[in-house]
Structure 1
Amino acid sequence: MSTIKADVLLVGGGVMSATLGTLLSKLDPSKRLVMVERLDHVAHESTDGWNNAGTGHAGYCELNYTPQNAAGEVEINRALAINANFEISLQLWSSLINTGELPAPSQFINTTPHISFVWGEENVAFLRQRYEKLSAHHLFKDMEYSEDHEVLRQWMPLVMEGRGDDEKVAGTRVPYGTDVDFGSLTRNLVSSLEKHDQFELKLSHEVLDIEPARETGWKVTLKNRETGKKLVVIAGVVFLGAGGGALPLLQKSGIPESKGYGGFPVSGQWLVCQDDEIVKRHFAKVYGKAAIGAPPMSVPHLDTRIINGKPALLFGPYAGFTTKFLKAGSKMDLIKSVRPNNLMQMMDVGVNNMDLTKYLIGEVMQSHEDRVTSLRDYFPGAEAGKWTLAQAGQRVQIIKKDGKGRGKLEFGTELVSSKDGSMAALLGASPGASVAAQAMIEVIERCFAERLPEGWQDRLKALVPSYGESLVEDAALLERIRPQVLDTLNLAKS
């Protein structure tokens, strides 16, 4: 069994590991980076274009990011934070285009207006209040609002087709919303990394074991899934960016910070239309309100997508229940993740979320016509024969302790790291890939804190001009940076 050494081991060949590897290679080109991926090519699980919404999540259209409190008031803080974090991703991608490490932006990101659409008096009142609060903030100042049927027909003709003029509807729009092919983005990032002598990619390798090394860092045992040969990597820092597979790997490490975490797997499906005549009539991501009891990842949306360079129209996702943690995983993943330290939390979530479980099972049992009926809320003229069902990606929502020591289910992302900074893992789902840059900067701040004063802060500032400052609080900073970034990424042109 051979052994290699690495300064940093990146587990998972998705957008998170690719982003962290890119940042580290820019901050210190001498660092030895090894990326390991269990499949035979990168960006084929959660990061693949067909496995995620492809929405550049910025809070423009996603209504679940602006919940109503008990008093009925719309809360916008989460939308502000997500928007600011997505701006950081845009800044990084813009910098990498300028240095030639990413190709023309159209190969991975395209302007696609972000629209929220609702119907009914109560929902219209909600959307109006949401617009008033968000548009008053500089991050959302370009948001438009309308209840005018003619305006809405211009924004989204398929959605408004066949609706009566007396139907109470409303929509908001941000014209420079984005569709992102995270699979293409990741493949390009990894391709650039492979040009560096200090980077090595190990495909078709899965992690068998993670244990402390005799010196410092970690001893990680890998297995080549094609040959069966084992390989040991001695790494100073290990990052687990393996999507739904990150939780079991974190548990293997045994770090105290991993105790109490569990996972709730949720699958998804899309209805897909690739009829050119229909696809070319819709140019937007139109998000609505989730059904009662639905998880946030099931917020319905009718989306213009560009995947591997080909346009398509997707509706969904339709959630489902599975015990797999990865699309290419095992049905035993959920059972194997149960530990004495998380059993109580997982039981609490199971008991307290029976309605969610029933909802997910109900989604799985739907017929094609049932799914098309849901689609017709957003495209009244949809013909069942022009839509096919496709399997989306797998997500594992976080189960953790609440303030009372009981289990709670969370639908965001969370970074878990060891006290000494030698191990970090990203758990959870939405907003996921969209905020990869900010999430990986947080990994650097936790795992390489001592390097920040040694020039790393300045290098981060060069890559992400807003680094160390607040886009939420500083309108002048946003006004200085956003136009340049939109121009570089060709997002100012609708």
Structure 2
Amino acid sequence: MAVRQADVVLVGGGVMSATLGMMLRQLDPSLDIVMVERLDHVAHESTDGWNNAGTGHAGYCELNYTPETDDGDVTIDRALQINAQFEVSLQLWSYLVEQGILPEPSTFINRTPHQSFVWGEKDVAFLKRRHERLSAHHLFRDMEYTESPKDLEEWMPLIVNNRDPMQRVAATRIKHGSDVDFGSLTRSMVSWLETQPNFELMLSSPVHYIDQRDNGRWKIRVKNQKTGELTKLETGFVFLGAGGGALPLLQKSGIEEARGYGGFPVSGQWLVCGKPDIVQQHNSKVYGKAPIGAPPMSVPHLDTRIINGEPALLFGPFAGFTTRFLKQGSIFDLLGSVKSTNLKPMLSVSKSNMDLTRYLIGEVFQSHSDRVASLRNFFPDAMEEDWQLRMAGQRVQIIKQVDGGGGKLEFGTEIVAAKDGTLAALLGASPGASTAANAMINVIERCFPEKIKTPEWQERMKELVPSYGQSLVEDEALLTKVRERTLSTLQLG
């Protein structure tokens, strides 16, 4: 059997692999790139519009990114970091639109105000302090705060209609927030890559074998599920961007850096309303505070979405317990991921997170009436018959070994790379897709360290992302210049 030689193999057809493939193609058009996807089309698991939060996570409305301290203050460092990283994605997408590589922006991104909404004295005080801290920084200078019934009726009519007038409420708003259909975005990027020389997309082709040769190159074997044909690949660099499937593949690779990592799978569900007369009354993303014990992905929000060009209104997500790592995965995924190298961290996390496990199992057994009751905290007039339950995607939170051999449950994303730079994997969930460009720049810097230092790659990277190598958190003038361009190009202003 002939061996297919490649410079780069991207495992997974989601937004991460597509973003990395696109950036590498722009940096060096001569690279021979192969993308392998186990399903029969790309962007169908975590990246799919119905499976992905789609918020364009920017820290504008997600209250879990600004935790409250014991003394009543609010920490904003994570929100600043995520906002700056999302601006990197906006810059890359703007460049691709300007070059005609991506289609008209409204096919994948639409202006949708990002709002936070809380009720009760304690949470109103928190939101007000959050606004004070964030709006003092140039990244969040456009954030508005209100407790005015008139403003709230304008901002979020569904939420304030027929609400108890004695209940104290407050909200913040960023008008230039966005809704991103990452499924459509990814399909557009991959479609363009397919028109380029030295790029091959292999669908219905899960990876069955991965191992590193003595010469440092990787051997990969994939099997076409439709034809049964085996293909052997050999490459100098592998990226595992397979969502929840990245951890098992990372373990198969055998790299030392994978030791101690485990996964905690979490499922999700949405309440979906497609009634035009209701959908048309809400044009924003409104986030509240997560219930005590809930994982960050379960922060409740009433969400305007444009998925495959069609508007919808979503509420949730409702978390659930699962043993699958992928929506179309196996119930044995979790058990199969337990190894001698991560057994102690996983047992440690299991013992210390029993409350979370009970919460997730309880979410599974909620009735439709229970879920609609939660929705009525945001939409008091919600009627059960107007909302249907729809499964969201799977997420695998990171379990990471800590000093002493125990484990810690992480709710962010993390890049694990081999010390020789020949393999990298992206693990974790939120904020995920929204920060794909920044994450893939990290991969390039760690795995192509000599090339990224060359004048050619430096110049090209700054064309793709003009703020590259500079801090949007620290440089207000740079942020102003960058944001003016992206809001105009992507029609978000």
**Bin for the TM-score computed over the shorter chain:** over 0.9
Question: What's the counterpart of residue 285 of structure 2?
Answer: 285
**Superposition pairs of residues 457-468 of structure 1, within 5 angstroms:** 457-468=458-469
Instruction: Please state whether the residue corresponding to 2:89 is helix, strand or coil.
Output: helix
Question: What's the counterpart of residue 236 of structure 2?
Answer: 236
Instruction: Please state whether the residue corresponding to 1:13 is helix, strand or coil.
Output: coil
Aligned residues: 492
Over residues 83-126 of structure 1, what are the superposed CA-to-partner deviations in whole Å (9 max), with x where a residue is unaligned? 00000000000000000100000000000000000000000000
CA distance in 1, matches of 2:251, 2:230: 21
Question: What's the counterpart of residue 438 of structure 1?
Answer: 438
CA distance in 2, matches of 1:153, 1:343: 52
Question: What's the counterpart of residue 196 of structure 2?
Answer: 196
Letter in 2 for 1:159: I
CA distance in 2, matches of 1:29, 1:213: 26
Over residues 10-66 of structure 1, what are the superposed CA-to-partner deviations in whole Å (9 max), with x where a residue is unaligned? 000000000000000000000000000000000000000000111000000000000
- Determine what percentage of the aligned residue pairs are the same residue: 66
Letter in 1 for 2:474: E
Question: What's the counterpart of residue 391 of structure 1?
Answer: 391
**Superposition pairs of residues 212-251 of structure 1, within 5 angstroms:** 212-251=212-251
Instruction: Please state whether the residue corresponding to 2:130 is helix, strand or coil.
Output: helix
Which ranges in structure 1 are unaligned for 5 or more consecutive residues? none
CA distance in 2, matches of 1:429, 1:181: 17
Deviant stretches of 4+, over 6 Å = none
Which ranges in structure 2 are unaligned for 5 or more consecutive residues? none
Over residues 282-311 of structure 1, what are the superposed CA-to-partner deviations in whole Å (9 max), with x where a residue is unaligned? 010000000000000000000000000000
Question: What's the counterpart of residue 70 of structure 1?
Answer: 70
CA distance in 2, matches of 1:217, 1:83: 37
Over residues 357-400 of structure 1, what are the superposed CA-to-partner deviations in whole Å (9 max), with x where a residue is unaligned? 00000000000000000000000000000100000000000001
- Residue 453 of structure 1 deviates from its aligned partner by 2.3
CA distance in 1, matches of 2:88, 2:217: 30
Instruction: Please state whether the residue corresponding to 2:351 is helix, strand or coil.
Output: helix
Question: What's the counterpart of residue 2 of structure 2?
Answer: 2
User: Is the counterpart of residue 371 in structure 1 residue 371 in structure 2?
Assistant: yes
- Residue 216 of structure 1 deviates from its aligned partner by 2.8
Instruction: Please state whether the residue corresponding to 2:17 is helix, strand or coil.
Output: helix
CA distance in 2, matches of 1:153, 1:5: 60
CA distance in 2, matches of 1:333, 1:412: 21
- Residue 403 of structure 1 deviates from its aligned partner by 3.6
**Superposition pairs of residues 341-360 of structure 1, within 5 angstroms:** 341-360=341-360
- Residue 214 of structure 1 deviates from its aligned partner by 4.4
Instruction: Please state whether the residue corresponding to 1:43 is helix, strand or coil.
Output: coil
CA distance in 2, matches of 1:164, 1:402: 47
Contact kept, 8 Å, 2:291 with 2:299, in 1: the verdict is yes
Instruction: Please state whether the residue corresponding to 1:96 is helix, strand or coil.
Output: helix
CA distance in 1, matches of 2:65, 2:285: 16
Instruction: Please state whether the residue corresponding to 1:50 is helix, strand or coil.
Output: coil
Question: What's the counterpart of residue 414 of structure 2?
Answer: 414
- Residue 215 of structure 1 deviates from its aligned partner by 2.9
RMSD after superposition: 0.7
CA distance in 2, matches of 1:169, 1:404: 45
CA distance in 2, matches of 1:224, 1:71: 57
Question: What's the counterpart of residue 478 of structure 2?
Answer: 477
Letter in 2 for 1:427: L
Contact kept, 8 Å, 1:399 with 1:409, in 2: the verdict is yes
Letter in 2 for 1:181: D
User: Is the counterpart of residue 253 in structure 1 residue 233 in structure 2?
Assistant: no
Over residues 404-447 of structure 1, what are the superposed CA-to-partner deviations in whole Å (9 max), with x where a residue is unaligned? 43101000000000001000000000000000000000000011
**Superposition pairs of residues 143-162 of structure 1, within 5 angstroms:** 143-162=143-162
CA distance in 2, matches of 1:315, 1:298: 11
Choose 117-126 or 225-234, whichever is displaced more: 225-234
Instruction: Please state whether the residue corresponding to 1:481 is helix, strand or coil.
Output: helix
Question: What's the counterpart of residue 141 of structure 1?
Answer: 141
CA distance in 2, matches of 1:293, 1:402: 22
Instruction: Please state whether the residue corresponding to 1:51 is helix, strand or coil.
Output: coil
CA distance in 2, matches of 1:216, 1:202: 24
Instruction: Please state whether the residue corresponding to 1:49 is helix, strand or coil.
Output: coil
- Residue 484 of structure 1 deviates from its aligned partner by 1.0
Letter in 1 for 2:435: V
Letter in 2 for 1:241: G
- Residue 481 of structure 1 deviates from its aligned partner by 1.2
Question: What's the counterpart of residue 449 of structure 2?
Answer: 449
User: Is the counterpart of residue 205 in structure 1 residue 205 in structure 2?
Assistant: yes
Question: What's the counterpart of residue 186 of structure 1?
Answer: 186
Instruction: Please state whether the residue corresponding to 1:115 is helix, strand or coil.
Output: strand
User: Is the counterpart of residue 124 in structure 1 residue 124 in structure 2?
Assistant: yes
Question: What's the counterpart of residue 426 of structure 2?
Answer: 426
Letter in 2 for 1:114: H
CA distance in 1, matches of 2:315, 2:346: 31
Contact kept, 8 Å, 1:325 with 1:394, in 2: the verdict is yes
CA distance in 1, matches of 2:6, 2:192: 19
